[in-house]
Amino acid sequence: MAKQEQKILRVGIIGCGGIANGKHIPNLHAQKNVELVAFCDIIEERAIESAEKIGKEDIDIYTDYRELLKDDSIDVVHVCTPNKSHSHITIAALEAGKHVMCEKPMAKTSEEARAMVEAAKRTGKKLTIGYDNRYRPDSLLLKKICERGDLGDIYFAKAHAIRRRAVPTWGVFLNEEEQGGGPLIDIGTHALDLTLWLMDNYKVKSVVGNVYYKLGSKKDAANAWGPWDPEKFTVEDSAFGFITMENGATIALESSWALNTLDVGEAKATLCGTEAGADMRDGLRINGEELGHLYTKQAELNSGGVNYFDGKSESQAARECRFWIESILNDTEPMVKPEQALVVTEVLEAIYESARTGKTVYFE
């Protein structure tokens, strides 16, 4: 019997900025079951340039995402716009019959994120969020270790997203209106998503947070991407949260683009359980007690044999893209479920609210 050919998914990109050109477009273009057919950006030249970069002259170009969504032949849409527009573009795409990958964070507010989850359920279309740090070899291995129960009951964790001086000075990163926040919503969101996923714990009881605007006002500051403009720096430069889960577990979340520290690390987690602990600060390390002695084990991540990772050279972004496309073709759940991403947004929002009011935010 002849093998049935797998469907080719027709994909449109909305928002042709850095994240689209650096991550989504090249990885989609490399997928054998994907055809990139439409690019949209409010600046037409950016969409045209994105098509030229991958050598495709037959891509339809739009400046209004609503026009792109009218194309019934498009199966999938990737939303790569500033945070402010994530929700309404995603919901419109779902209602137009498209599966959607939306870049992180899910939305500016939990209300918007909740509406996205409801739209996915209502339309029956798949929705996922671009938390690509789950697809790193160390993340995938640690997830299997946690699932096997090696750490026991994980009751304390840290979510790390600390830069010494690496403030993004391009695009709208420093614009609170467009983004909804600074490092907390930009990189803290990755660290929190990774930590909650590894713990497999999404039931939040309460959140306390502090947000700081300490270094953004400095002129001619040393920075990985050159000095920022203090007049345009309208978001926080650091934010910290303490999260208590319903089962009593606690998570300390730390995020900063600019902090006077040498203890840096981004999109990493530290887990402490009743049987063992793990951290990603210097590779993947497992620590515990055995036969009356303490031990520390260092994982060798290039040895193969790990679920989802066979030792081949595949970036986390490429793996994220492949898994997403396979979930559509095989009609399985995406690795990043929208309900999980909603909890991340709810916690981030609660940290901002707690910092603003000086009060603990309790979840129902």
**CATH code for the domain of 22:** 3.40.50.720
Residues 228, 355: one domain?
Answer: yes
Structure tokens at 64: 């209004």
- Please indicate, yes or no, whether residues 28 and 154 belong to a single structural domain of this protein: no
- In a 13 Å sphere around the CA of 2, the CA atoms on its Cβ side amount to 3
Residue range(s) defining the domain that contains residue 272: 134-313+337-362
Edge to edge, the sheet with strand 99-103 lists 60-62, 34-40, 9-14, 76-79, 99-103, 127-130
Residue 175, domain member (yes or no): yes
Are 83 and 105 within one domain?
Answer: yes
- Tell me, yes or no, whether 93 and 202 share the same domain: no
Do 232 and 169 lie in a common domain?
yes
In a domain, 45, yes or no: yes
From 69, 99, 131, give the residue that closes a domain. Answer: 131
Whether residue 141 is found in the same domain as residue 119:
no
What is the CATH number for 209? 3.30.360.10
276 and 305: one domain?
yes
**294 and 205, same domain (yes or no):** yes
Q: For every one of its 364 residues, what pLDDT tens digit does the chain have, with 9 covering 90 and above?
A: 444 567 999 999 999 999 999 999 999 999 999 999 999 999 999 999 999 999 988 999 999 999 999 999 999 999 999 999 999 999 999 999 999 999 999 999 999 999 999 999 999 999 999 999 999 999 999 999 999 999 999 999 999 999 999 999 999 999 999 999 999 999 999 999 999 999 999 999 999 999 999 999 999 999 999 999 999 999 999 999 999 999 999 999 999 999 999 999 999 999 999 999 999 988 999 999 999 999 999 998 864 444 444 445 789 999 999 999 999 999 999 999 999 999 999 999 999 999 999 999 999 8
Residues 182, 257 contacting (CB under 8 angstroms): yes
Total number of domains constituting the chain: 2
The burial of 108, by beta-carbon neighbours within 10 Å (0-12 exposed, 13-18 middle, 19 or more buried), is given as buried
